[in-house]
């Protein structure tokens, strides 16, 4: 009697789940690779690539969670890429800094600790702010549950930090102009993902599979599109670096 595809999938899923317990790590990995490569042999190149990219996308969040776990609650990218240094080196003692979308507060803490600035970190997530207040408490940092600039109009900030924030917003030039009008910073420190980080990115888009690092990204930048958006947002770039597949930039009002 022929087995349905559904029954085969359930049996194979159970076998893999149980195999994870009694197979050695090397044998389990070899089995998974063998299953994937056998399937790929019967597929045309475009379908094989789509399958591999879908598997990659499915495992990428797992990789991130494990990197956070391995890092004791903080993603290891913070120490590997040392992107905090870009922010801390461009802030001076006693300046007022607004960190929009501060997450769990790792960058805000380092800015206060290393530069001696006063930092307000805001984030939409109450869970993130609770974690920040617990793990990254600092006498020079205040954390708030807040939607972007709303509620942050208590005076002027010298610096605004936008670390992996712009790519999530639909109207980025308008937001940049709003920042300048609302808090009148002397400069903004910006970190965004680069579309041109890897040859796989345009290939994924060509094949019609998810190419963004995060499905919530409204954009990922080319060097040209970044300059264009800064210009439209009333900003001029005074310093720019490309590191780790990202653009790190200091901008000022044009």
Q: Are strands 187-193 and 246-253 parallel, antiparallel or unpaired?
A: antiparallel
Average pLDDT, the chain: 91
* Mean pLDDT, residues 120-136 taken together: 94
pLDDT in tens, 167-209: 999 999 999 999 999 899 999 999 999 999 999 999 999 999 9
pLDDT in tens, 55-73: 999 999 999 999 999 999 8
The reported pLDDT for the residue numbered 18 is 65
Which residue do the tokens 């990197």 mark? 67
How is residue 174 written in tokens?
């308008």
Residue 101 DSSP label: T
Nearest to 131 by CA among 163, 161, 102: 102
Query: How many whole angstroms separate alpha carbon 104 and alpha carbon 182?
Result: 24
* Mean pLDDT, residues 238-249 taken together: 97
Residue 196 DSSP label: G
| Cα-based torsion angle of the residue sequence 175, 178, 183, 189 in order, rounded to the nearest 10 degrees | 30
Q: In the chain, which residue ranges form alpha helices assigned H by DSSP?
A: 5-22, 25-41, 45-70, 77-81, 84-88, 106-115, 126-135, 172-183, 200-207, 223-232
- Please determine, for residue 1, whether its predicted confidence score (pLDDT) is greater than 50: no
Determine what percent of the chain is predicted with pLDDT higher than 70.
91
Q: CA of 34: how far to CAs of 31, 38, 43, 173, 201, in Å?
A: 5, 6, 15, 48, 26
Beta bridge partners of 82: none
- pTM of model > 0.95: no
* Mean pLDDT, residues 83-104 taken together: 95
């Amino acid at each position: 009697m022929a087995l349905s595809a559904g029954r085969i999938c359930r049996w194979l899923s159970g076998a893999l789940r149980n195999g994870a317990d009694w197979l050695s790590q090397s044998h389990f990995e070899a089995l998974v690779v063998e299953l994937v490569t056998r399937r790929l042999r019967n597929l045309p190149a475009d379908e094989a690539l789509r399958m591999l990219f879908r598997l990659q996308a499915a495992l990428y969040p797992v990789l991130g969670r494990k990197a956070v776990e391995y890092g004791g609650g903080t993603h290891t990218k913070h120490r590997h890429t040392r992107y905090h240094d870009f922010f801390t080196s461009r802030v001076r003692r006693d300046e007022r800094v607004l960190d929009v979308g501060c997450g769990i507060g790792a960058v805000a803490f380092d800015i206060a600790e290393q530069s001696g600035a006063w930092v307000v970190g805001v984030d939409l997530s109450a869970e993130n702010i609770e974690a920040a207040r617990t793990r990254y408490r600092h006498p020079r940092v205040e954390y708030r549950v807040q939607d972007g600039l709303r509620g942050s109009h208590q005076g002027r900030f010298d610096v605004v930090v936008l670390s992996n924030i712009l790519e999530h917003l639909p109207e980025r030039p308008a937001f940049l102009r709003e920042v300048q009008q609302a808090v009148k910073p002397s400069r903004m420190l910006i970190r965004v993902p680069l579309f041109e980080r890897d040859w796989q990115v345009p290939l994924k888009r060509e094949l019609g599979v998810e190419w963004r690092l995060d499905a919530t990204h409204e954009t990922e930048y080319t060097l040209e599109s970044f300059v264009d958006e800064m210009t439209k947002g009333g900003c001029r770039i005074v310093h720019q670096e490309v590191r780790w597949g990202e653009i790190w930039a200091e901008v000022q009002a044009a």
